[in-house]
Amino acid sequence: VQLQASGGGLVQAGGSLRLSCAVSGSIFSINAMGWYRQAPGKQRELVAVFTSGGVTSYADSVKGRFTFSRDNDKNTVYHLQMNSLKPEDTAVYYCYSRLADYGLVTSTYWGQGTLVTVSS
């Protein structure tokens, strides 16, 4: 199983970016998918998570500004639309997925991280 993240970059405060993550490999079922981020000198924190029950949860710091979405035709491709970006959103963003493979082994997989830099 592989996760490929893309879409990071440099943006001015108030701007927008869209991150994408594509999950590939021997996937039987996906239990959860989402995004974490890690700012310099800080611990990794949850940004958004979508569960198989159809519920999306967000960190308080991004509610109303970030939106998780998943492609309808490819439920293994998902996105994080980030609007009204703030300098404090600067971090490396990691996509992740908790899924079961064809051997019905459930594991958590991570993408390689994509850097988002918001200038003031």
Q: For the chain, where are the E strands, in sequence order?
A: 2-6, 9-12, 17-24, 29-38, 45-51, 56-58, 66-70, 77-82, 91-100, 106-110, 114-119
pLDDT tens string, the chain, 120 residues long: the values are: 999 999 999 999 999 999 999 999 999 999 999 999 999 999 999 999 999 888 999 999 999 999 999 998 878 999 999 999 999 999 999 999 999 999 999 999 999 999 999 999
